[in-house]
Amino acid sequence: MAKPRRSNLARALAGAIAVLSLSLPIALLAEGESKSVPLPVPKQLQLDTRVEVPPPLLAAESAAPGETTAVIEVPPAVEGPGVLEGMLPSAPSSERPPRAEPAAEVPSVVSEPAVPIVPPPMTRLTITLDWYLNAQHASLLVAREKGMFARRGLDVSLVVPADPSVPAKLLAAGRTDLALGRQPQLHLLAARGVPVVRVATLIAAPLSGLVLKQASQDESDEISLEGLRIGVTDRDGRDVVLASMLKELLGMARGLELVELEGVGYSAADAIREGRIDGVLVHHRYLLPRQLADEGVITRTLPSEAFGLPPHDGLILLANRDRLNGKRDAVHRLVAALEEAALWIVNHPQEAWQLLEKTEPALADPIGRDTWSDLLPRLSLQPAAVDRGRYLRFEQFLLDAGVIETATPLERLAIDLGTTAP
């Protein structure tokens, strides 16, 4: 009977323990509601950790030191299928996507400056004058000042010679491209074998004359030339013009032997003013008499064409015949410019004279204005044209007078380069 009793006691003890285990948490919870006591933590489990939350950054302020946060860089979006889409098989499609058209080429911006336009090369020509610049050279001056030479690609230099006899010598020696002269001078040079030829005419009427000093202005006074001292500036003025005039005036072929000759060069006015000569043969008879009249010196002018000399060109442009081929085109353009200038002068005479005064202030005086009115109607409007009969008649006149021994062919005296503008 002892064994059953012991087993019942064990069962009762186990039940009590179970009831006690269930009631103990309930009691603790009830007591915790009235007073909360923290459970002790073992020393080895205590954590020294501090959590800091950074303040938000304003858009207009920069973060203070120690408050910066890591910057997360987000990769830019890539157009087209992603990585996963590229790995997955695409769905079959019956329609192919349209092929993209190639983009049109856009012209690039030029960073270098454009290549400058180079003007055409200019042909330089030197013209040696027969005298200092005056109204007789109007066509040359106007063509230069109005740009008529430049438009034809010419750079023309006008040179005043040191002596009136120098231009022909320079031309023959090839030291100048062109030279101004006179028709009587041309015939003498050609007869001596000098390779010169006329290429243009600037003044188509005689300009030479014998300027004599006299006591009064009475033009009816009888002219007495025998024994007078006459000044000359060049050979053609002496051997052709003066010789022919004295033959007519004195009635004898050797009239030069009845007068005393003296070379005066550029000092003709001074020689008359100082009384060293009684008269002078000049190739610009419209200048000297008026100049002397303003100084109180009374003179009388005898035109060369009125006393035995045939009509001739008063001012011509000469070229070296042996060197002309290399400059023919340039000379042709120059003559065309002279024609344009002469026509402009005739159409605008007052404006032309104002241009001459502005270009050469020495011409701006009453003498120059009076000279301009005399020279204007004598300008050659067709500078290239050759009056064949005039040159042949003058050559024959010199041959009959015994001034030259043989006649020179016309083509060696004067040529016509034509006036068609290039």
Instruction: Domain of residue 290: give its range.
Output: 209-306
Of 112 and 326, the structure prediction assigns the larger pLDDT to 326
Backbone torsions φ then ψ of 216, nearest 5 degrees: -140, 175
- 213 contacts 299 by C-beta, under 8 angstroms: yes
Same domain for 408 and 317: yes
Residue 403: which CATH number?
Answer: 3.40.190.10
pLDDT in the model for residue 62: 45
Same domain for 200 and 317: yes
Of 221 and 70, the structure prediction assigns the larger pLDDT to 221
Of 291 and 390, the structure prediction assigns the larger pLDDT to 390
Same domain for 302 and 217: yes
Helix axes 138-145, 328-347, angle to 10 degrees: 100
How far is the C-alpha of 334 from the C-alpha of 177, rounded, in Å? 12
pLDDT in the model for residue 422: 38
Q: What is the mean pLDDT of residues 194-212?
A: 96
Any domain includes 326:
yes
Domain boundary among 306, 321, 352: 306
pLDDT in the model for residue 78: 54
Any domain includes 79:
no
Encode burial over 404-422: b for 16+ CB neighbours within 10 A, e otherwise: beeebeeeebbbebebeee
Say whether pLDDT at 60 is over 50. Answer: no
User: pLDDT tens digits, residue range 271-285?
Assistant: 999 999 999 999 989
Give the dihedral of Cα atoms 141, 164, 385, 382; nearest 10 deg. Answer: 30
Any domain includes 394:
yes
Any domain includes 46:
no
Same domain for 330 and 198: yes
- 273 contacts 213 by C-beta, under 8 angstroms: no
Same domain for 338 and 200: yes
Say whether pLDDT at 57 is over 50. Answer: no
Any domain includes 116:
no
Kindly report the number of other CB atoms within 10 A of residue 77's CB atom.
5
Nearest to 171 by CA among 323, 325, 320: 320
pLDDT in the model for residue 6: 56
How far is the C-alpha of 132 from the C-alpha of 145, rounded, in Å? 17
Q: What is the mean pLDDT of residues 324-334?
A: 94
Of 233 and 96, the structure prediction assigns the larger pLDDT to 233
Q: What is the mean pLDDT of residues 129-156?
A: 95
For the chain, give the mean pLDDT: 81
Same domain for 293 and 238: yes
Any domain includes 58:
no
State the pLDDT confidence band at 223, using cuts at 50, 70 and 90: confident
pLDDT in the model for residue 90: 56
State the pLDDT confidence band at 291, using cuts at 50, 70 and 90: confident
Say whether pLDDT at 412 is over 90. Answer: yes
Chain centroid to Cα 57, Å, comes to: 70
Domain boundary among 270, 290, 306: 306
User: pLDDT tens digits, residue range 371-391?
Assistant: 899 999 999 999 999 999 999
Of the candidate ranges 28-32, 116-120, 126-130, 349-353, the one whose mean pLDDT is the lowest: 28-32
Any domain includes 247:
yes
Domain boundary among 255, 277, 306: 306
Same domain for 223 and 198: no
Same domain for 219 and 192: no
Burial of 34 (0-12, 13-18, 19+ CB in 10 A): exposed
Same domain for 301 and 218: yes
Chain centroid to Cα 389, Å, comes to: 43
Same domain for 201 and 215: no
How far is the C-alpha of 88 from the C-alpha of 92, rounded, in Å? 12
Structural domain count, the chain: 2
Any domain includes 422:
no
Say whether pLDDT at 150 is over 70. Answer: yes
Same domain for 384 and 370: yes
Same domain for 365 and 317: yes
